[in-house]
Structure 1
Amino acid sequence: MALVFQWLVKIATALIVLCVLSVLLIYYLASRSLPEYTATAEVRGLQAPLEIVRDNANVPHILATTDQDAFFALGYAHAQDRLWQMIVLRRTAQGRLSEVFGAATIETDTIMRRLDLYRLSVASVDAQTPATQSALEAYARGVNAQLAQINKGAQGRGAPELFVFNAPMAPWRPADSIAIGKLMAVQSTGHLKQEILRARMSLALPDAARLQDILPDAPGTGVASLPEYASLIPNAPRFAQVPAPISHPLSPFKMRGHAGASNAWAAAPTRSATGGTLLANDPHLALTAPSIWYLARMNLSTGAVIGATVPGMPVVLSGRSDALGWGVTTAYADDQDLHIEEVNPDNPDEYRSLDGFKPFDVRPSIINIKDADPITLTLRWTENGPVLPGSFENLRSITPAGHVVSVAFTALSPRDTSLSAAIGVMQSRTVAQAVDAAAAHIAPAQNLTLADRNTIAMKTIGALPRRDTGHQSQGRMPTLGWGKANRWDGRLPYTSNPGFVQPVGGILGNTNNKMVERPFPGHVSFSWGDTQRVQRWQRLMQARQVHTRDSFVEAQLDTVSFTARSLLPLIGAELWFTGEAAPDGTPARKRQRALTLLASWNGDMNEHLPEPLIYSHWVRALQDRLMRDELGPMASVFTHLEPLFIERVFRNIDGASIWCDVIQSAPKESCPDMARLALDDALLEIEERYSGALESLRWGDAHQAAQDHPTLGQVPLLRYFVNIRQSTSGGDNTLNRGLSRGTGNAPFQNVNGAGYRGVYDFADPDSSVFIMSTGQSGHFLSRHYDDMAQLWRRGEYILMSLDADLARAAAVGVTTLVPEVQ
C-alpha cells in the first residue's frame, strides 16, 4: 500500500511539473511575439532613418522626413501591435476565414465572396490619386518589413494567436487596405436588413397604420446646427471673447441596431470660452479586445497629425493636425437597395433585364475549409449587383418562387476612391480644403465634422444613389429589378449632399439623427440611427452660452437617458399612486417599491443605481407584451427598445393603443393594464436573476462592457486572460452610449459603444485629449493590452499632443529604423 502511495505521489508530482513546464513553454512561445520597442532595425524599403517614439500610453509618434517613410512606419507599428487583427480583417474581406476557423465561418465567407469586395478592392487601386497610391505602397512595405523582422528574429510568429490558429501571413498589398475600408462600409450600414424587416412586417401587418407604429419615420424636420443662444435665452449676457464610435463574432453583418453609430459636435469661436474652435468625436462600433482603433501620430509634409487609425489602413480617420480637426459619424444614408430578379423559367442561367432575359455574369469561387472538403460557389451578378443567397437573413421567406434577390450597394464600386478622400482630409489645412477632398469619398456614407482655427462645418460625404421619383418603394423595401424606375441612375452630385458651414448659432453636431427634411429622392434616408440622444445633446449644448474642452468631455460622458425621462411618465401615469399600501411580499408591494424608486429618479443610467435596471427590465417586458401578441415569434426581431413605438402606443397616435389589447383574450386590456403586468414581469425576472434587495441592485452588474477577443474569447480558460469586462454606466439611448446585447442570458451587456473618444481644442491644440477602450497592443501578455481600459471606464482621457519632446519625456521605447544596406 505504501508503495502504491509513493507511486501516486510521484505520478502526481510529475503531472504537476509537466503542467508547470507546459505553461512556462506556452508563456515563452507567446512572449516571443511581444515587440521590443527599444531597438534599432535595418529594413528594406525605407528612404531615410526615422524614429518611432512610443509615449507612456504606447502611442507611436512617427518622426520621419518624408511622407512615404511616415506611412511605412505606420504600417510597421500596426504590424508590431495588431498583426493578428490585420490578418483577420483581411481574411474577412477576402472571404477566407474558413481556411483558419473551419465550418463555423462558412456563412460569413459565402456572403463576402458573393459581394466580391476583394476583387473590387484590387480594381480600385488604380483609381486612387498618385499620392494615395504612394502611401498605400509605402504602408505595405512597412507591414512587410515587420514581417521580415519577425522571421529574422524568430519573434514567435508575430502574434500569440498564430500558435493557436495556423494562418500563414501573405505579404501585405495596397488592395488589402482598400478592402478593409470596404469591410467597414459593410459594417456601417443597416439598410439592407431594414428593407428585409419592412418587407416581413408589411406581410405580418397589412394595416399601414400598424406598420407605421412599429417602423415609424423619424419625426421632425432634422437637426444639425443649433440656433443662436440669445434667441433661446432672452436677455442672456454675452461674454467677451478671449483671444486664442449575429452571428459569428467575425461576421461584418451585425444585428439590427448594431451598425455603426457615433457622436460629433463642434463649437465656433463665438461659443467657446477661449475664443478657439472646439470639436468632439466618439465613433461607436462593436467593443472588442483589442479595440478596432489604434492611436498614432505621424509627421507629414502638410503638418503632423494625430488621432485614431484602423490597423490595416494608412490614415487617421478621426483626429487633428495643428490647424484642423475632423471627426466622423455614420450618416445612415440609404446606400443599399434590394431587387427581386426574375429567373428565366426556361433557362436558370438568365434573368429578366430591361431588354428581356440576359445571362447572369457568372464566376466560380472556391472556399477552402479547415478539416473539411472545399466548396465551390457560383457567383452571380445582375445589372443591379450581386445575387445574395436565400439563406442570408432568410431572404427566401420574402422571395417569390422563380426569383432571386440582388443588392445594389455604393461600396461595390470598382473605382472606390474613399481612401484617397480620407488621406486628402487628413492632409488638409482648412475646412474648405477638407470638404473639397472628401468629394472623392464613396462608402460608407459619413457625416464629416470639421473645425479649423476659425470655422466649423459638417458635410455628408459618400455616394448617394440617384433614384427615380417613380421608384416603387422609394428604397424602403425590395422592388422588381427589371423595373426601370427602381434602378439607380448613378449618384447625386456631391454639392447636393447636406452641408452646414459656420452656422449662426455657433454649434453643430450629429448623433446619427435626422439632419434634413427633403422630399424623395433627395431625402438622404427614411431610416435614421437616432431620435433620442439628439434631444439630450441639444439640451446640453444650449444650456451654456460658451463651451470649453471640459464641457465637451462632460457631454461625451453624459449618461442621462432622455428616453427614460420621456417614457416613464407615460407608461406609469396611472401606476404611481395606487391607493392603500399592499402587504409586504406581495406583487403589489414589490410594484410600489419599484415605482417609489423610479418616481424620484432623474433618468441617469449610472452603474451604481438600481433604477436603470428596473426601468430597462420594465420597458423590455412591456415592448415584448405589446408586440408578441400581434407578431408572435417575429417579435424577437426587435431586440432593443423602440421608443417611438412605445410613445405612439401610449399616446394613441393614429389609434396605436390597439396594441395594448390582447387579441387572444376576451377582456379588452388597456395600456395601463399592460404597463402594470409588464412591471410585474420585470420584477419577477429581476428577483430570479439578481440577489439582494431591490434597492441594493446595481445597473453596472448587468451593463458590463464585454470587450471580448473575437477569436480567443470563447476558448476555455484562455478567455479569462483575453476578454476585458467592466461595469459601465450609460445605455442604448444615452450620449455615453453603451448599446446592449439585446439577446441571450445577458441582454443588457454593453457590446457596442465609443471605442474612441477625442476632444480637440484649437485655442490650445496640445491640450486636446483622447482615449480608447482597451490598449494599444493586441498581445494579451503586454501591459498595453488593457492599460487604457480603466481610464476609459472612469471617463478619463490622456493628452493628445504633437510635442515630440513631451512624448520622449516618458517614452516606453524608441524604435529606430534605418534603410537596409544593399
Structure 2
Amino acid sequence: MRHRRQAAGGVRKRSGWAVAGRVALGVTGALLLALGGAGAWLHLSAQGQHAGSAAAGGLGGAVTVTRDAWGVPHIRAATDADAVFALGFAHWQDRAWQMDFQRRVAQGRLAEVLGEAALPQDRFLRTWGFERAAQAALPALSAQSRALIRAYTAGVNAAQAQGRTALEFRILGYAPEPWREVDSVSWSKLMAFDLGGNYEEEVLGAQVVRRLGADGLDQVTAPYPDGAPTVLSADELSGAAQSLTGAARTGQAVGRSVAAGRATAPTALPQATVTALRAHLQAARTLGLQAVPGKGSNNWVIAGTRTASGKPILADDPHLALTAPMLWYLADLQGDRLKAIGASIPGLPAIVIGRNERVAWGVTNVNPDVQDLYIEPEGAPLTSRREVIRVKGAPDVILTVRSSRHGPIISDAGAGAVGPRVALKWTALQGGDTTMDAFLGLNYARNWADFTGALRSYLAPSQSFVYADVDGNTGYYAPGRVPVRRGWDGSLPVSGDGSREWQDFVPFEQLPHTFNPADGLIVTANNRVVPDSYPHALGNDRNWAEPYRARRITDLLEDGRKLTVADVQRVQLDTLSLVWADLRGPLLATRPGSDRARQALERLRGWDGRQTTDSVPSTLFEAWLMQLQRMARDELGNDAVMNSLSVLNQLRGNGELCAVNGAGDCAALLTRTLDAALTDLEGRLGPDLNGWTYGQLHTVASHHRAFGKVSALAWLFNHEAPTPGGTNTVNVARPEHGTFRQTHGASYRQIVDLASPNRSVYIGSLGQEGHPLARHTADQQARWIAGEYLPMSTDPADWGRTRQLTLTPRP
C-alpha cells in the first residue's frame, strides 16, 4: 500500500537542499522522469540480491539470510562475526543511500554531493566535530567490539562490491566510498546530538533573561510541576542514594539545592552572537536534528504480578524524526553466542532495541543537562584547525575552527570572530567514549548483572533503559556521563573564567536505577526521572518533558486488570489528550468574537479529547493551541514556540505574556487566537467547519532527506498518510507549525512477552528497503498507522513467505 498524498493546504517550504537537488538532477533527473516505464529496470538494477547464493570475501563460513514476508532478515551463522558480517551485507543491500548519507552528515561532507546549498550544514558539522569525536572513540572500544565492527565493515564492503547502486547515487552522479570502521561510530554521535543536550535551551534562555529577566524563564519554559510523576519514586532510589557516603551525600545535597534554585544570571550575549548560535540550530533543523516539543519516547516494563501470564511485559516506542527510509531496520541475528532480534540502525553492528533469548530491553531519552555554553574571556588560549569543505560545482571552502579548553567555538558560524567567543562543552565530544561497547554488550546480556555491566560503558546520550528477563525480573537504569555542577544549574551560558566548571561525573552506582521495584511497574516518557530526595542534579526543572504521557500511561496500566500484550498495544496507540483536559476550562470560557467562533466552541464543548483522523474538534484544538504557543513572539521573535504547559500556566494566571505590546490580557488573547486559528483553517480547508476533519491536515510525513522537498522527485521518495494522535498523546503525533504534518513520532514499536518471547511483536514506521520502487519500501506504514504489528519471532513458522540468500566465503 502506497501513501504519497500531500497534506491538504500544507505549506511547501523551499530549502537550500531543494535548490541543490534541482541543480544536481540536471539532464539525469529529466531523463529519469521521462522514462516512466523504466521504473522496473531501475528497481532491478539497484536492488540487492535477496535469493540464491553469493560469494563474499571476508566470511569464515556459510551464512543464510532469510527475509520474511516483510523483508526482515533472519540471519543464521556459525559464528558471531559471520552473523554481524551478514547484517552489514543486508544493511548495505537495503539501505545503501541512507548509510552513505548518514556518514556524510557526521563527516560534514554534504556539499560534495548536494552543492553550495549544503554549506551551512557542513560548517555546523565540521565546527562541532562529530567525525573527530568518532575517530577519538574508536580506539577506546573493547577487543570484542573492534572485532565485530571489523566483521560488519567487511560485510558492508562485500555488498558494495556486488556493484548495484542505490537510485540516489545515480541521480546525484557519484559512487559511494568503501565503508570504514569509524563510520559505524560516527552516526552514534549524531544520535547523541539529537537526544543529548540543552544547547538550544541555553540560547533561548539567554534571550529570555535579556528581555524578561530571570523570572521569565519559568514563564516561557515551565518548570516540571510539583506532584507530577517521576520515573522512580523515593523508595526506589535505594541503590543510588544509599551508595553515597554521609560526607558525599551532604556535599551533593548542597550542590543539588543550589542547582534547583534560580539560574545564574548569564554573561550578556549581543544579538549578533545569538544570531550566529542560531545559525547552527537552523543547520541542525535542516538535518532533522532539533528539539521538538513533544518529541520523546515511551517505554515501560510490567512485572509478572501485574500480567495475565505471570511473566513481565516490556514495551518501547522511541519518538524520533520520521524519514524515508525509516531510521530503524528490523533484524534477527544468530551466531554462536549472539542471538538477538529487534531494531538495528543501518551503519551500527548491533540490535539497539530488542531482546535475546533471555533478556529484553527498551530505551527512551533521559535528557539530562550534558552541554554547557562558555563565554570565553579575552586572552583565553585558543587552538585552531583548518577544514577544507569540497563543494560540488564550486571552489573548495576553507573553514577555520577554533577551540578553547572547553570545546569548539560555535559562535563564529563560519564567518570569523564576531563578538564574544562562545565555546561548547559536551560529554559526547570528550574522548574515551565506549557507548558502542554498551550496545554490543546488551546483545549478549543473560541477566541483570550482565545488563548493568554492559551499561557501565554507556556514556552518551544518557538514556532510560528498562529491563526484563525470562526469570521474571524487571529493572531500570539511566546510564551516561552526567556532569556534577556546584553553585549553578547549567541552564544559561556562563563565563569561561574557571568559576563555573564541571566537578566530576555522577558515579555509575549513583545514577538512577532500580531492580524489581515493589509495585511491579516502571514507566518512562521523558518525564522527570527522580524526586527531590535524589542527591544529584540531573538538570534543572525545565529539562523534562511535560508529564502528560507519563500520567496517561500510568493510569492505563494501573486499572487493576491483569495485563496482556493486547492491553499494552492499546496503551501504545492511545490518543486521548490530557493536554485538552487541562486546557478545556480556560478555552471553553473564551468570549467568541463571531458566529464561527461560537460554532467552534460548541464543537469543542462536546469533545471527549480523543484525537482521531475523523475528528473535527482535534483540528480546532491543535490549530488554536498553535496560535497560543506563539504568545511569546513579541518578546522573543517569530520562532518562539512555548510548550502546552507554559501556555496553561499563562492562561490560569493571566500571565504577562498574554499581552500584545504591553496591552490586553489572556481573555483578549483567547478571543483573538481562536479567530486566527479559524481563519487559518478556513484558508486550508474551506468555509464549512463541519468538514474540517483532522486527517485532512494531520498526515504523517516520512520524507526523504535529500529529495523530500524537490518537487520533481518528492512524489517518488516521500510517503504521507492521515494519522491520529496529537500534542503529548501517548501515541505522540504533534502537528508541525505551519503544515500540521506529523514529522516526529513512534519511529518503532515493540512489545516483548517474556512468558513466550516468540509471541512478542514489533513494527517500524515505514519499511525495510530504501529503494522507492522496492516491495518493502513502505509496506509497514499502513499497519503502523492502524496499530498493527509484525511477529517478533525467531521461529520460521511465523515468517510467512520467505526468500533465502546463502552467503559463502569467496575462494
Provide the C-alpha distance between the structure 2 equivalents of 1:662 and 1:99, rounded to a whole number of angstroms.
46
For the structure 1 residues 663 and 709, does the alpha-carbon distance in structure 2 shift closer, same or farther, using more than 3 Å as the test? closer
SS at match of 1:738: coil
What TM-score comes out, normalization by structure 2 length?
0.86
Question: Is 1:532 matched with 2:548?
Answer: yes
SS at match of 1:448: strand
Residues 548-559 of structure 1 mapped to structure 2, 5 A cutoff: 548-559=564-575
SS at match of 1:750: coil
Counterpart of 2:23?
none
Question: Is 1:479 matched with 2:494?
Answer: yes
Counterpart of 1:736?
731
Of 53, 57, 74, the residue aligned with 2:87 is: 74
SS at match of 2:778: coil
Is this contact kept in 2: 1:111–1:389, CA < 8 A? no
Q: For each residue in 1:406-460, what CA deviation from the matched residue of structure 2 results, as whole angstroms up to 9, or x when unmatched?
A: 1111111231100000111121011332122111011111111111121111111
Is this contact kept in 2: 1:249–1:710, CA < 8 A? no
Residues 414-433 of structure 1 mapped to structure 2, 5 A cutoff: 414-433=431-450
Q: Which has the higher contact order (CA 8 A, sep 6+)?
A: 2
Provide the C-alpha distance between the structure 2 equivalents of 1:259 and 1:374, rounded to a whole number of angstroms.
40
Is this contact kept in 1: 2:437–2:458, CA < 8 A? yes
Provide the C-alpha distance between the structure 1 equivalents of 2:627 and 2:456, rounded to a whole number of angstroms.
46
Deviation at 1:168, TM superposition (A): 2.8
Provide the C-alpha distance between the structure 1 equivalents of 2:411 and 2:138, rounded to a whole number of angstroms.
28
Deviation at 1:375, TM superposition (A): 1.2
| Length, aligned pairs only | 733
For the structure 1 residues 543 and 138, does the alpha-carbon distance in structure 2 shift closer, same or farther, using more than 3 Å as the test? same
SS at match of 1:563: helix
Counterpart of 1:138?
151
Deviation at 1:535, TM superposition (A): 2.0
Provide the C-alpha distance between the structure 1 equivalents of 2:71 and 2:314, rounded to a whole number of angstroms.
24
Question: Is 1:119 matched with 2:137?
Answer: no
Residues 418-817 of structure 1 mapped to structure 2, 5 A cutoff: 418-453=435-470, 454-467=472-485, 469-471=486-488, 474-483=489-498, 485-518=499-532, 522-526=536-540, 527-573=543-589, 575=591, 588-624=594-630, 626-629=631-634, 631=635, 634-639=636-641, 642-652=643-653, 657-665=655-663, 669-691=664-686, 693-742=688-737, 744=738, 746=739, 748-807=740-799, 810-811=801-802, 813-817=803-807
Provide the C-alpha distance between the structure 2 equivalents of 1:324 and 1:382, rounded to a whole number of angstroms.
44
For the structure 1 residues 19 and 701, does the alpha-carbon distance in structure 2 shift closer, same or farther, using more than 3 Å as the test? closer
Letter of the aligned partner of 2:703 in structure 1?
D
Of 402, 410, 414, the residue aligned with 1:380 is: 402
Provide the C-alpha distance between the structure 1 equivalents of 2:133 and 2:86, rounded to a whole number of angstroms.
27
Is this contact kept in 2: 1:31–1:781, CA < 8 A? no
Cα RMSD, aligned residues only: 2.4
Counterpart of 1:242?
none
Is this contact kept in 2: 1:226–1:507, CA < 8 A? no
Identity, % of aligned pairs?
Answer: 32
Is this contact kept in 2: 1:258–1:752, CA < 8 A? no
Deviation at 1:217, TM superposition (A): 1.6
Q: For each residue in 1:380-427, what CA deviation from the matched residue of structure 2 results, as whole angstroms up to 9, or x when unmatched?
A: 2211111113448x9x9xx9x753011111111231100000111121
Deviation at 1:121, TM superposition (A): 1.5
* Rg (Cα) greater in structure: 1
Deviation at 1:663, TM superposition (A): 4.2
Letter of the aligned partner of 2:582 in structure 1?
S
For the structure 1 residues 448 and 664, does the alpha-carbon distance in structure 2 shift closer, same or farther, using more than 3 Å as the test? closer
Provide the C-alpha distance between the structure 1 equivalents of 2:494 and 2:535, rounded to a whole number of angstroms.
16
Deviation at 1:120, TM superposition (A): 2.5
Of 242, 252, 256, the residue aligned with 2:291 is: 256
Deviation at 1:755, TM superposition (A): 1.3
SS at match of 2:161: helix
Is this contact kept in 2: 1:385–1:408, CA < 8 A? yes
Q: For each residue in 1:746-802, what CA deviation from the matched residue of structure 2 results, as whole angstroms up to 9, or x when unmatched?
A: 1x2100011100000111111110101111000001011011111111111111101
Is this contact kept in 1: 2:197–2:370, CA < 8 A? no
Counterpart of 1:13?
none
Provide the C-alpha distance between the structure 1 equivalents of 2:293 and 2:629, rounded to a whole number of angstroms.
19
Is this contact kept in 1: 2:546–2:645, CA < 8 A? no
Counterpart of 2:222?
216
Provide the C-alpha distance between the structure 2 equivalents of 1:259 and 1:728, rounded to a whole number of angstroms.
16
Q: For each residue in 1:293-333, what CA deviation from the matched residue of structure 2 results, as whole angstroms up to 9, or x when unmatched?
A: 10000003335211011100011111111211111001111
Q: For each residue in 1:83-130, what CA deviation from the matched residue of structure 2 results, as whole angstroms up to 9, or x when unmatched?
A: 000000001101111111111111111121122222222232221111
Counterpart of 1:46?
59
Range with greater deviation from structure 2 (76-85 or 563-572) = 563-572
Question: Is 1:165 matched with 2:172?
Answer: yes
Counterpart of 2:274?
none
Provide the C-alpha distance between the structure 2 equivalents of 1:144 and 1:563, rounded to a whole number of angstroms.
49
Is this contact kept in 1: 2:342–2:352, CA < 8 A? yes
Provide the C-alpha distance between the structure 1 equivalents of 2:290 and 2:187, rounded to a whole number of angstroms.
20
Provide the C-alpha distance between the structure 2 equivalents of 1:799 and 1:531, rounded to a whole number of angstroms.
31
Q: For each residue in 1:461-492, what CA deviation from the matched residue of structure 2 results, as whole angstroms up to 9, or x when unmatched?
A: 1111122x123xx2011111122x31223422
For the structure 1 residues 144 and 690, does the alpha-carbon distance in structure 2 shift closer, same or farther, using more than 3 Å as the test? same
Letter of the aligned partner of 2:429 in structure 1?
L
For the structure 1 residues 670 and 164, does the alpha-carbon distance in structure 2 shift closer, same or farther, using more than 3 Å as the test? same
SS at match of 1:92: helix
Is this contact kept in 2: 1:90–1:180, CA < 8 A? yes
SS at match of 1:110: helix
For the structure 1 residues 226 and 464, does the alpha-carbon distance in structure 2 shift closer, same or farther, using more than 3 Å as the test? closer
Range with greater deviation from structure 2 (405-414 or 532-541) = 532-541
Provide the C-alpha distance between the structure 2 equivalents of 1:390 and 1:249, rounded to a whole number of angstroms.
16
Letter of the aligned partner of 1:198 in structure 2?
G
Provide the C-alpha distance between the structure 1 equivalents of 2:660 and 2:407, rounded to a whole number of angstroms.
43
Question: Is 1:187 matched with 2:194?
Answer: yes
Provide the C-alpha distance between the structure 2 equivalents of 1:95 and 1:337, rounded to a whole number of angstroms.
23
SS at match of 1:714: coil
Provide the C-alpha distance between the structure 2 equivalents of 1:227 and 1:341, rounded to a whole number of angstroms.
40
Question: Is 1:820 matched with 2:790?
Answer: no
SS at match of 1:677: helix
For the structure 1 residues 210 and 556, does the alpha-carbon distance in structure 2 shift closer, same or farther, using more than 3 Å as the test? same
Question: Is 1:297 matched with 2:332?
Answer: yes
Provide the C-alpha distance between the structure 2 equivalents of 1:790 and 1:335, rounded to a whole number of angstroms.
38
Range with greater deviation from structure 2 (178-187 or 614-623) = 614-623
Counterpart of 1:584?
none
